[in-house]
Chains A and B, each alone.
Chain A
Amino acid sequence: MHISITDLEAHSQFALFMFHGLPASAQPEDVNRLTLAYFLISSLDLLHALSRIDATQVIDWVYGHQVLPAPSLHDSGNCFLGFRGSLSVGVQFRPLGASALLHDGGHLASTYSALAILTILGDDLCRVQKHALLGSMKKLQQQDGSFTSVHMGTETDLRFVYCAVAISVILNDWAGVDTQKASKYILDCQSYDNGFGLVPGQESHGGATYCAIASLLMMGYIKVDPLSKIVSSPLLDISGLIKWCIQKQTQSGGFHGRTNKDPDTCYAFWVAGSLHLLGAGHLCNADALQDFLKRCADKYGGFSKWPGESPDLLHSYYGICGLSLLGNPNIKQLCCKLGMSIEAADRLERARNEG
């Protein structure tokens, strides 16, 4: 039995409530405001509840995070001209974004979130400084093909490869990614058990596996076979990869992200979504997964990591994504590789064809 419209309403209410204000306990996410907004706005879109927020105001707020070239000074030569995760660095709000300050710059995950929000809200992306963004994004790519998230330097791993790839797809321009290097890095991250770790040598992880598969698909290194509907590739042992993913469904019905760990709501997206991308989404136990998700749903809306915990934004969003992948008729279909509704992703496709 799919979760009913009435029960889904509670999730919309939860998202709207958070949209208007977060408690002080969210302070550790202060620099990730755009990503939090993405979770909520994509949730509301999937739940057919987008009309309850003022899209124009949100679009203006998002553009206010754009990093524009600094007129003079310092290291803005290397600065990533994407989107800041928040305005906490001290820039003044400007409707088109603000010039880079000292120690300021865009962040790859925030930039992905910003562009996803804009696409979901139907913005035409005309105000995005595309060439500056992609030109500076290229400098974030490392010798080994991975990406750092900001020009000042952070850890580098598959998460930021995914962000750079998704940004390129949304902007329909690959000038910012050396795809060959990126794909080599991704393959280096594949573990002996066929899953992917976040960095080469690391343990297979559901989130990393999603980033790997989605990125390879979007770059065209793996393709869905039109006959079998399953991905085929000379680069990867696809059946081994499907086996790794399918084994991550635990007896509780939920998926865990690593072998022998506890199940967690978000892997209903990362791992079940990986199966979906491989054309094998139908092989998981949908009823058992749905039951697990129901147990993680809070009666006042939102999803927690596992049953009995308090809901949070990330798990609420990926819980809804999980339900979408399970085919709930009251939730919009998810474009799993891009992280937004198919409806939103199709708008990009149409704009591309018209352009």
Chain B
Amino acid sequence: MSSSESDASLEGEEDEFEEEHEAEKWVPLSERAEWADVRPLPQDDGPHPVVPILYTPRFRQTMDYFRAILALDERSPRSLLLTQEVIMLNAGNYTVWHFRRLVLQDLSSDLLEELKFIERIAESNYKNYQIWHHRRWTAEKLGSAAMISELHFTEKVFSKDAKNYHAWSHRQWVLRTLGGWEGELDFCDKLLQQDIYNNSAWNQRFFVIKNSPYLGGVQGMREMEIKYCKDAIAVDSANESPWRYLKGLFKGDNEALVRSGAVADIILQELQKSKECIFALDLLLDLLNLGYEPPHDLIKSLGLDKDMCSAFKMATFICTCLKKIDAMRVLYWDWRLAAVVNPSDG
């Protein structure tokens, strides 16, 4: 491809990009009286720049003035406005956010207004790390007064994207730093009612039972949570989330997992519905590897003869079944099969 051809197609994209911003009627900084005293500072990209970006005139000029203000370290109201213009063009520029924070502090700006500004910016950038960091900084300055607004802010984001990773991180930070634990378990429940496959909400649920000062910790909540998993699994036993959550309740306590009648009940309940429930078979396999001795009804649920069935044979049988049912992972189940220990090999 010749360079002229490539330039042409890139220009095409540039035009399109300009048009998006055209509606706002941008007045070049060079034509604004309040900026007449500032000499714009161009970017020096060296003699052979790699991945040069074909900046729009607006982007280039706004950055030229920002560079100038940065070099002057001018922490003024007009600088604050300029950072806003840069952020609108590139919310990923961490330098401009940093500088904005310095200006906000020096001008003793109203941080409640700043929260509103962030909300406007976030609407089109809610997956941007810098915005969330700035949000945290602002909330931290406001302290516990910001707790409600911050929880609401994440909820607003969840209403558009209930799995937004940044919003979940922010919410966990708010709970840990500013509080607000009281309603959190109900909040998780609400989101799971809306979407039982929302693994972010499952994770949050675990975060709450583990860390909330009002609940009894993972061990204390275990019984109630097993029940919660049981109900979720009954809705769809092919949903990975509640199965992982269920086993997670016993992380670091294999002995309790093997002893838990409630867990065995869930496995039995699902296998009686279908012998091909992948996650039930998988969990049963894990239990057998941990020395679990299956009761007769569980053996029967798989259609096996109770007298014929040692844990070893059962594990072998399960792996063989899983190879057929879960063909995508046939090599994995083969590997699990190879790891099943035959006690007679002693």
Select B328's contact among A31, A205, A282, A285, beta carbons within 8 Å. A285
Nearest Cβ distance between residue A222 and chain B, in whole angstroms? 18
A260 at the interface (CB under 8 A from B): yes
* Residues in B neighbouring A30, C-beta threshold 8 A: 53, 55, 59, 63, 90, 92-93
Across the interface, do A260 and B51 meet the contact criterion of CB distance under 8 Å?
no
Given contacts A21-B52, A64-B46, A93-B44, contact A193 B98 (CB under 8 A): no
A5 at the interface (CB under 8 A from B): no
Interchain CA distance A157-B331 in the complex, whole Å: 34
For this complex, into which size category does the number of interface residues on chain A fall? 35 or more
Select B94's contact among A150, A247, A253, beta carbons within 8 Å. A150
B241 at the interface (CB under 8 A from A): yes
Across the interface, do B329 and A24 meet the contact criterion of CB distance under 8 Å?
no
* Residues in B neighbouring A143, C-beta threshold 8 A: none
* Residues in A neighbouring B116, C-beta threshold 8 A: none
Given contacts A101-B71, A202-B203, contact A260 B240 (CB under 8 A): yes
* Residues in B neighbouring A58, C-beta threshold 8 A: 48, 50
Across the interface, do A103 and B90 meet the contact criterion of CB distance under 8 Å?
no
B6 at the interface (CB under 8 A from A): yes
Across the interface, do B331 and A37 meet the contact criterion of CB distance under 8 Å?
no
Q: Which of A186-201 contact B (CB under 8 A)?
A: 191-193, 197-199, 201
Select A202's contact among B48, B169, B282, B330, beta carbons within 8 Å. B169
Across the interface, do A93 and B45 meet the contact criterion of CB distance under 8 Å?
yes
Chain B residue at smallest Cβ distance from A190? B251
Q: Mark interface residues in B156-174 (1 if CB within 8 Å of A CB, else 0).
A: 0000000101001100100
Given contacts A36-B51, A282-B331, A283-B331, contact A93 B240 (CB under 8 A): no
Of the candidates B45, B46, B172, B199, the one having the most CB atoms from chain A within 10 angstroms of its own CB is B46
Across the interface, do A246 and B332 meet the contact criterion of CB distance under 8 Å?
yes
Of the candidates B67, B95, B98, B331, the one having the most CB atoms from chain A within 10 angstroms of its own CB is B95
A290 at the interface (CB under 8 A from B): no
Nearest Cβ distance between residue B31 and chain A, in whole angstroms? 21
A353 at the interface (CB under 8 A from B): no
Across the interface, do B56 and A27 meet the contact criterion of CB distance under 8 Å?
yes
Across the interface, do A87 and B43 meet the contact criterion of CB distance under 8 Å?
yes
* Residues in B neighbouring A243, C-beta threshold 8 A: 282
A28 at the interface (CB under 8 A from B): yes
B132 at the interface (CB under 8 A from A): yes
* Residues in B neighbouring A244, C-beta threshold 8 A: 244
Across the interface, do B54 and A17 meet the contact criterion of CB distance under 8 Å?
no
Across the interface, do B206 and A192 meet the contact criterion of CB distance under 8 Å?
yes
* Residues in B neighbouring A197, C-beta threshold 8 A: 203
Nearest Cβ distance between residue A97 and chain B, in whole angstroms? 11
Interchain CA distance A40-B50 in the complex, whole Å: 10
Across the interface, do B52 and A249 meet the contact criterion of CB distance under 8 Å?
no
A153 at the interface (CB under 8 A from B): yes
Across the interface, do A88 and B93 meet the contact criterion of CB distance under 8 Å?
yes
Of the candidates A28, A150, A249, the one having the most CB atoms from chain B within 10 angstroms of its own CB is A28
Q: Which of B151-209 contact A (CB under 8 A)?
A: 163, 165, 168-169, 172, 176, 197-200, 203, 206-207
A13 at the interface (CB under 8 A from B): yes
Nearest Cβ distance between residue B62 and chain A, in whole angstroms? 10
Select A259's contact among B49, B241, B330, beta carbons within 8 Å. B241
A57 at the interface (CB under 8 A from B): yes
Across the interface, do A33 and B244 meet the contact criterion of CB distance under 8 Å?
no
Of the candidates B93, B102, B129, the one having the most CB atoms from chain A within 10 angstroms of its own CB is B93
Across the interface, do B165 and A247 meet the contact criterion of CB distance under 8 Å?
no
B34 at the interface (CB under 8 A from A): no
Given contacts A36-B51, A90-B43, contact A201 B172 (CB under 8 A): yes
Given contacts A27-B59, A153-B98, A260-B199, contact A61 B50 (CB under 8 A): yes
Across the interface, do B53 and A260 meet the contact criterion of CB distance under 8 Å?
no
Stretch in B11-19, B142-150, B310-318 touching the partner: B11-19
User: Besides A57-B48, A103-B95, 15 other CB < 8 A contacts?
Assistant: A20-B3, A20-B6, A21-B6, A31-B94, A87-B43, A91-B44, A102-B71, A104-B95, A155-B129, A192-B251, A193-B244, A203-B203, A258-B163, A259-B240, A282-B331
Residues of chain A whose beta carbon lies under 8 Å from any beta carbon of chain B: 13, 17-33, 36-37, 40, 54, 57-58, 60-62, 64, 87-93, 101-104, 107, 149-150, 152-155, 191-193, 197-199, 201-205, 239, 242-244, 246-247, 249, 251, 253, 258-261, 280, 282-285, 288
Residues of chain B whose beta carbon lies under 8 Å from any beta carbon of chain A: 1, 3, 6-7, 10, 13-14, 17-18, 41, 43-56, 59, 63, 67-68, 70-71, 73, 89-95, 98-99, 102, 129-130, 132-133, 136, 163, 165, 168-169, 172, 176, 197-200, 203, 206-207, 211, 239-241, 244-245, 247-249, 251, 282, 328-332, 335, 339
| Interface pairs (20), CB distance under 8 Å | A19-B50, A19-B51, A21-B7, A23-B13, A27-B53, A29-B92, A31-B94, A32-B92, A33-B53, A60-B48, A89-B95, A101-B70, A103-B70, A150-B98, A154-B129, A192-B249, A192-B251, A249-B328, A259-B240, A285-B329
